[in-house]
Amino acid sequence: MNTHEPTDTAAPSAPPAASAAPSLVITAPKPLTKALEDAMYAKATAPWSQMFLQTLTGGAFIALGFVFMVTTQQGMGDWPIGIAKLIGGTVFSVGLGLVVISGSDLFTGTTLTLMPRLSGRISTGRMLGHWGMSAGGNLIGALLIALLMLGAGTHATNGSAWGLIVLDTTQAKLGHDWHQAFFLGILANLAVCLAVWVATAGKTVTDKVLGVAGPIALFVATGFEHSVANMFMLPMGLLIKNFAGDSFWQGEAIQAAGKSLEDYSSLTIGAALWDNLIPVLLGNIVGGAVLVGAYFWATYRRGDDDLAKS
């Protein structure tokens, strides 16, 4: 009688193959332009419901970047102004980093959908519809963060210092001449869309975030104007002005600055729209769609074989 246990003669299974590490070779400009256009095509042709949800976080994340920037500027009055602005601009880049990594839809970046339009992959109506959806959704997301910040009472922290920075920043934004706001908008979205370009080249979360930081710090520190950021800052200033209450105006920072409600009488909804948001938004379109999108398309995509076959 055989007392030995049966022997399994099957060959041992091979260990699962390790996935190949992503290439860290920098993508050349020509295929990078195609990758950016493909990404913009995907955003422009997403279902409207998905697109709307992505635009909400686009506005909200940029608003959070501005929240971070305002927070860092408290007590910076004695610092060299360049250093203070550099810190504020660098931390603001957290907002676009969140947008890029989460796949959110940001109006200023959305202007790059001119690229698939120039390639004939989407219609003008679809492109403009995407732009409108993105701007509207960003505004709702930014307003939500502003309302949450007001409800949280953050504006009154540190003797009302946080809210004072918002009020002064808002007032400065409404002090630009119309044409100046327009050109500042062009410059801001030139930087933002170049940041999107660099992020598209990134292979990891780290290099995407670091790639975004430089151009965003440049535009914020220099004082360029970004429509979606202003969709948070201008309403935040208006909310503080109209709803902060007497305790806010009696805060230590407000008293030390010698400021009162009357000093901010120029902060109105009409001024926010006409003196800032409208010219800045138009400038953002030129800076992103033309100076980045059309430029890279004309340089690297016009006349490509795949366009001739489409």
User: Number of structural domains, the chain?
Assistant: 1
Percentage, residues of the chain above pLDDT 90: 85
pLDDT digits (tens, 9 = 90+) for 194-219: 999 999 999 899 989 999 999 999 99
Q: Is residue 56 part of a domain?
A: yes
- What is the pLDDT confidence band of residue 155, given thresholds at 50, 70 and 90? very high
User: Where in the sequence is the domain holding 209, given as residue range(s)?
Assistant: 29-302
Condensed to tens digits (0 to 9), the pLDDT of residues 95-129 reads 999 999 999 999 999 999 999 999 999 999 999 99
Q: What's 243's domain CATH number?
A: 1.20.1080.10
Tell me the whole-structure pTM to 2 decimals: 0.90
Is a pLDDT exceeding 50 seen at residue 266? yes
Q: Which of 7-11, 140-144, 283-287 has the lowest mean pLDDT?
A: 7-11
- How far apart CA 287 and CA 111 sit, in angstroms, is 9
Cα–Cα distance for residue pair 109/124, rounded to 1 Å: 17
User: In the predicted model, is pLDDT for residue 7 greater than 60?
Assistant: no
- In a domain, residue 17? The reply is no
Contact 46, 219 (CB under 8 A): no
- Three state DSSP letters for the chain: CCCCCCCCCCCCCCCCCCCCCCCCCCCCHHHHHHHHHHHHHHHHCCCHHHHHHHHHHHHHHHHHHHHHHHHHCCCCCCCCHHHHHHHHHHHHHHHHHHHHHHCCCCHHHHHHHHHHHHCCCCCHHHHHHHHHHHHHHHHHHHHHHHHHHHHHCHHHHHHHHHHHHHHHHHHHHCCCCHHHHHHHHHHHHHHHHHHHHHHHHCCCHHHHHHHHHHHHHHHHHHCCCCHHHHHHHHHHHHHHHHHCCHHHHCCHHHHHHCCCHHHHCCCCHHHHHHHHHHHHHHHHHHHHHHHHHHHHHHHHCCCCHHHHHC
- pLDDT greater than 80 at residue 12: no
| Chain mean pLDDT for the chain | 92
Residue 64 lies in a domain: yes
Provide the token pair at 193.
Answer: 């869309």
Mean pLDDT in residue range 257-266? 95
On whether residue 158 sits in a domain, the answer given is yes
Confidence of residue 3 (pLDDT cuts 50, 70, 90): very low
Give the pLDDT mean for 172-185: 97
pLDDT exceeds cutoff 80 at 15: no
Q: Specify if 235 maps to a domain.
A: yes
Q: Please check whether residue 10 lies inside any domain of the structure.
A: no
| Top-confidence residue, 219 or 12 | 219
Is pLDDT of 2 > 60?
Answer: no
Specify the pLDDT at position 78.
86
61 assigned to some structural domain: yes
Quote the CA–CA distance of 87 and 283 in Å, as a whole number.
Answer: 25
- Under 8 Å between Cβ of 116 and 123: no
pLDDT in tens, 26-81: 789 999 999 999 999 999 999 999 999 999 999 999 999 999 999 999 998 889 99
Report residue 16's pLDDT band, with 50, 70 and 90 as the boundaries: low
Q: Is residue 247 part of a domain?
A: yes
